[in-house]
Amino acid sequence: MPHLSKPQATVLALLSFGMVVVQSSGISRLSLFLALLLDEQENTLRQRLREWYYDAPDKRGQQRQQVDVTTCFAPLLRWVLANWSPTDRRLALALDASTLRQVFTVLSVSVMYRGCAIPVAWVVLPACEPGAWQPHWRRLLAALHGVIGVLMALHHRTTNGGKGQVVDVALYEAVFNMMESTLPEYDMFGIVRERTGSNLTGIVPSNTYLTREGHHVVIGANADSIFKRLMSAIGRPDLANDPALADNTGRAARADELDRVIGAWTGQNDAETVLRVLAEAQVPSGKIYSIADIVKDPQYLARDMIRQLKLANGADLKVPGIVPKLSDTPGDIEWAGPALGEHTAEVLARLGYTDVEIAALRERGAI
């Protein structure tokens, strides 16, 4: 396989993103590329792409199989990594949400390669639907971590003669791995990042509600029977038996009213009571975790996702654990990283500065 040049990388980026933006002529070019990549027939793949891209009323036939675009993730990422320069020790990822023509929104995870963002995982959603992105981001990130784990295991097998191993990825761990400094901020300074929550447009009721003590609880009661159980549980049998609210269409027309009713009830109770009542009524619900909840959650602790490191000054610092988890080569966190300015003198010395000049810069506060 030849080393990818900048133009080649650009074409690969356009083609991979073209999966979700091109129409018939573009699909023909794209199908040829993906047919070679996935070892499938070009004509078959072209039809599957058309079935996947166009809305149901525009499709012909009801039984044609749609292409599983997730099968493209690993080949695209592996193609890039196969030609990765040994001197490039970091893999830069970019998350992007692009709304095209106010028709649909593309959520994509891309690898930055030779100045190009090459999408390796994506999902297409109807445009302008607030609150609909979160579950799709979770699935994309989990799929991406799974692919990375497979590639790491393959590299270990090829380079070190290792055997096959288990790649263990959880949805919440993939998202937790993207939260950057949230855990260190909480551990060192007590800062708890908060969320606002949002509903799922047209799926009623499904929203995040505030409890009496200021916690957030997500409630999903959009199924007809579950809605009735929810209304009965919160003391509103009149709404449970309202014929106008018997299906989602009727509830969607009164979404704001129902959100106010549910929010008023949760606001009068603490999170523990809300979750207990809804569990007894078999209504899907769950507390939205803050970082304060995460650090004491038994599942996070059992999965070794809360690691504690020792800083140079002797202080302890909690940091997220390693994702994904490999059975034979799990990896470890050896240190917390350098202190601010720890290597400044060393770098300046390599650039030709003398000890006297470095000391003078430090005295003036330049370094």
Residue extents of the structural domains in the chain: 6-118, 133-193+302-336, 206-289, 339-367
Percent of the chain clearing pLDDT 90 (strictly above): 37
pLDDT value for 128? 63
226 pLDDT exceeds 90? yes
- Position 9, amino acid: A
11 pLDDT exceeds 60? no
- Nearest C-alpha neighbor of 222 from the set 249, 203, 250, 202: 203
For the segment 227-284, what is each residue's pLDDT rounded down to a tens digit? 999 999 999 999 999 999 999 999 989 999 999 999 999 999 999 999 999 999 999 9
78 pLDDT exceeds 70? no
pLDDT value for 3? 45
145 pLDDT exceeds 80? yes
Phi, psi torsion values for 171, nearest 5 degrees: -55, -50
pLDDT value for 360? 93
pLDDT value for 91? 66
Considering only the top CATH level, what class is 206-289? alpha beta
For the segment 311-349, what is each residue's pLDDT rounded down to a tens digit? 888 899 999 999 888 888 888 998 888 888 999 999 999
pLDDT value for 192? 86
What are the distances in angstroms from CA 250 to CA 56, 229, 259? 24, 17, 14
- Nearest C-alpha neighbor of 224 from the set 201, 205, 209: 205
pLDDT value for 49? 56
56 pLDDT exceeds 90? no
pLDDT value for 210? 94
142 neighbors 169 (Cβ within 8 angstroms): yes
199 pLDDT exceeds 90? no
Q: Which two tokens stand for residue 341?
A: 């300015």
pLDDT confidence of 194, banded at 50, 70, 90? confident
**Cα 274 from Cα 115, distance rounded (Å):** 50
Q: Is the pTM of the predicted complex or chain greater than 0.75?
A: no
